[in-house]
Chain A
Amino acid sequence: MTVKKFHLEHICRVEGHGNLLVEIDGNKSKNVEMQIVEGTRFFEGFAVGRKYDEAINIMSRICAICSTSHQLSAVEALERSVSIVPSDQVHEFRVLLDHGENLQSHILHVGMLALPDFLGYDGVIQMVPKYPNEVKLILRMKRIANDLQALIGGREIHPVNIRPGGFGNYPTTRQLEEMKDKLVEFKKGTQTIADLYATLDIPQFKNKTEQLAVYDGKTYPFIRGDIKSLLSGKITPPEDYKKDFIKEEVKPYSTAKFSTINDGEIYYVSPLARVNINSKFLTDDAKALIKQFGMKLPDFNPFNNNLARVIELMHCADEAIEILDKYIMKPPKEDNKNFRIKAGTGTIATEAPRGLLNHSYDVNKEGIIQRVDVITPTAHNTNKIEDDVVKFTPKLTDMKDDEIELFFNMLVRSYDPCISCSTHAITIDLRRTK
């Protein structure tokens, strides 16, 4: 039997540089490597020695598309380190800003990065002649999501308005009202996108593995909560994320780390994991989409991440409208800007658009950072992507080579990997050691 070798170099329509190497022998995969080849940047190294309030802007440069998540995680964890307690208003505006990011990241993914695969195009640019209205709708929705990020965060990418204890300034009632109208329009658009996705032929593949998501037992949380495991039901407080739980290792072909839980168990994090774990707490219109898509929860098909993203578009738009309504009635007050800081450790688990994100800091009494640790969603998922390839390969025997190649490309894209994110850490080419 000949060994077929697929080397998908520089997977497109993902953020950053990654390759996938698969060697198929008969109907089994022999060797699978998710090779992340993005250059490393050493964030944990150079954030040490910075003051706690400066690090917020620096950490967001780990990744553009999750820049809001990184800033929010950094600010929340750093506040814990130095014992600053933000007000409820601050928390709600952070959720609002975070939803701006979720909406923009998800509409970008379902509309511009994934949809071309299902409709058979190279990219959204090439879809314009045949699908002008759909492309216009997607661009309009993306604009609205970005407007929300810019209104609260000051800029669409790498917000400028976040600081310990709150925000630089708040929008006016007028601006909040305009934003609400736009989000109502966004919701309508989401239904159109959902109707489109309901007709698509989504590959049916299952890989039943453990999934993790932030959980608080009351809401569909993105910013604060514990880490819940779907299958075992285990609940881990954020500060125990490395205590007999998540372990990271380095593989010689990748500049990103690979993680496992509970000594070697493969797991994953994603919008689908969130829907699986927290579906109870979705808004009614979002729950209606689960029904429309005919999903049976818990769902273990990674391709259904796209459906989970559409469900979250609905949920986040709903919740954002609710928060806007509240502060249209009762305009936000200025934040307290004077606090005393203490030395300490702050660790937090949040949900970036792609899944669980951990930030942890030690800060001394002068406010200078002594230690930083970050695990990004893509670093959580690299093992799972390889595992999917191994499990799905025996089912691909009827496919032609170019179909197999497209299938693997789509599989990797379904994780919406954020490769610049995954290589923020201190990991370098290890091949030289062998």
Chain B
Amino acid sequence: MAKPQIGIVGFTGCAGCQLSLLDLEDELLDLLNLVDIIDFRMAMTGNKEGPYDILFVEGSIVNDKQEEEIKELRKKATVLVAMGSCACFGGVQAMRNYRDDKKIREAAYGKEGAKNFPVFQVKPINKVVDVDHYLLECPVNKYEFLDFVKYVLIGGTPKLPNLPVCHQCKALENRCIFLEDNIICMGPVIQAGCGALCPSHGMPCDGCRGSTLEAAYQQQVDLMIKKGASVQDVSRFVLKYNGEDPQVKDFLLKAWQEQDKNLQYGEEEEK
């Protein structure tokens, strides 16, 4: 089999997912024996724009130009993988989809000036083109990236895990800071795979991997409120990395209609 041709490209994010791949110091040289990296602008010059057997895409789409670019790239890629929270669910910047975007712009440029700036919803990759696979975490979990490449090399189809962070946290015999110390933790509704990294440091799960399938948001929120969270606290905890995760969005929009009027979901592309 010819070596798969791999591309790694970034849209709007912090470049952390690409950097994570460079952090595979111990595995990088072996990996290069198995695949050809033909496009990786952050790391090299002399890049080729496809065709790609696998294209890894970091970041979210924040303007028309990027929307065009990703559509072109999609045509050149056999398999397209969204990598990290920004690409999968919009990332932290998707929080602004829930704000009165106009106000933010007016604060910076005044009422008249603000009229000149286009409003654009932060979009995860799958809102613009088809995505074949998702690699989670902020930054992307480099070991899940490696697993994915291995699967592809042996011709298998990798599956998304579907267990909450609590599962891994319990297996590590961590103290549950949510139940025992009343520290709000997102572990019950968030996809495992990070090895319960934050709870293992005595810090609450921040939710960077997105929801498990059919996550029980209502139960989670009931427990948060029982542990002393206010309605505002709840929206802030739920809305961090995953504004465009459909489950988060559905839940928040419903909650907003019912109670938290402070939260707004921006208009679609008013131009």
A interface residue numbers (CB < 8 A to B): 10, 12-17, 38-43, 45-46, 49-51, 54, 57-58, 61-65, 67, 108, 112-113, 116, 122-126, 128, 135-136, 139-140, 142-143, 146, 154-158, 160-161, 163, 167-169, 409, 420, 426-430, 432-433
Contact = CB atoms under 8 A, between A and B. Distances in A.
Nearest to B142: A156
B41 A46 contact: no
A117 B146 CA distance: 29
Given A157-B139, A432-B116, A46 B15 contact: no
A45 B47 contact: no
Contact of B197 (A126, A139, A154): A154
A45 B98 CA distance: 12
26 contacts: A10-B41, A13-B45, A15-B42, A39-B62, A39-B66, A41-B92, A41-B96, A49-B236, A50-B236, A51-B233, A61-B13, A62-B14, A63-B15, A64-B16, A64-B139, A67-B16, A116-B44, A122-B45, A122-B46, A124-B44, A157-B23, A160-B198, A163-B203, A168-B202, A432-B117, A432-B118
Contact of B43 (A57, A123, A142, A143): A123
Contacts of A168: 198, 201-203
Interface in B109-138: 113, 116-118, 138
Interface string B185-204: 00000000000011001110
Contacts of A156: 20, 23
A420 B15 contact: yes
B96 A160 contact: no
Nearest to A122: B46
Contacts of A54: 236, 240
Contacts of B14: 61-64, 67, 420
B201 A40 contact: no
Contacts of A135: 29
Contact of B63 (A39, A46, A426): A39
Contacts of A62: 14
B270 interface: no
Classify chain B: how many residues form its interface, as a range.
35 or more
B206 A57 contact: yes
Given A10-B41, A58-B92, A125-B44, A155 B197 contact: yes
A46 B44 contact: no
Contacts of B173: none
A123 B138 CA distance: 26
Given A39-B62, A123-B44, A139 B201 contact: no
User: Chain A CB within 10 Å — which of B10, B32, B59, B201 has the most?
Assistant: B201
Given A126-B44, A143-B26, A169-B202, A45 B236 contact: no
A112 B22 contact: yes
Contacts of A136: 29
A12 B41 CA distance: 5
A39 B11 contact: yes
A140 B25 contact: yes
Contact of B19 (A46, A65, A125): A65
A113 B42 CA distance: 9
Contacts of B197: 154-155, 160
A63 B116 CA distance: 28
B104 interface: yes
